[in-house]
Amino acid sequence: MADPRFFHRKGPFSIKEIAELTGATPVNAPDAERRFDDVAPLQIADSTILSFFDNRKYIDAFVGSSAGACFVRPEFADRAPKNMVLFTTDDPYRAYAKAATAYYPFETGNGVISDHAVIDPTAKLGTGVQIDACAVIGANCEIGDGTIIASNAVIGDGVVIGSGCKVGAGATISHSLIGNLCLIYPGARIGQDGFGFAMGPQGHAKVPQLGRVVIGNDVEVGSNSTIDRGAGPDTVIGNGCRIDNLVQIGHNVELGMGCVIVS
């Protein structure tokens, strides 16, 4: 189970609530009001815990688990321990993700703005925005409701960040428009110059990079990844993309919806 020093749990949730949340079908569940306290892997779950079984190589863990409830594909339901409540679904892992998010919802801003943050008076901050110590918010920035700007992050002049986002510690963002529900992890670099030069025997003449970075909704950018702004056209990251740690996205790149880029 998750360490309460780091993760703040909601719940418990009933069988009925879990079914409504995930769309899974309860099986072996005579009491729809029975509640489960937490989520955890099959190997460590007990009778108060909700788990999942999605990969057949873990069949032994499923058969021998003490979990009180489990998301499972219908074809494996007959292999479940006798007293286990089942939530049958064609996609157990996605159902588990929805349930786990209910127990451990994503962090949103608490409305506290540190006295040690540096915020230009022209910046526009939405309701519930949280800005931690030593963060810097530049002129004419716009930051949407409930967004968190962590310590030592630097948001350059004119940057727009939507609602429900989190910008991790030490990240820098310039020349960028960012949508809603985006997670920018610590140390990410977004909007700096692209690698553009006019090369020749006389030397390399720097070409001004006059585009932007435009990031859609529900995008994650991993720690220490970099996204260069466009040279003239924009660098575009589509809705729902996931970018791993230590990834370089060059200038003028366009990623469509739901792309996953690994390092």
Catalytic residues: 251
* Residue in this structure with the two tokens 């157990």, named with its chain if needed: 92
Nearest C-alpha neighbor of 188 from the set 238, 141, 234, 248? 248
Alpha carbons 71 and 97: distance in angstroms, whole number: 11
208 by Cβ neighbours in 10 Å (0-12 / 13-18 / 19+) ranks as exposed
CA dist., res. 113 & res. 116, Å (int): 8
Measured from the Cβ of residue 1, the count of other Cβ atoms closer than 10 Å reads 15
* Residue 50 burial (CB count, 10 A): 28
Q: Residue 227 in 3-state DSSP?
A: strand
| Distance in Å from the first CA to the final CA of the chain | 29
What CA dihedral angle connects 88, 92, 96 and 97, to 10 degrees? -140
Q: β-pairing, 172-173 with 189-190?
A: parallel
Both structure tokens of 77: 């339901």
The Cα 175–Cα 114 span in angstroms is 25
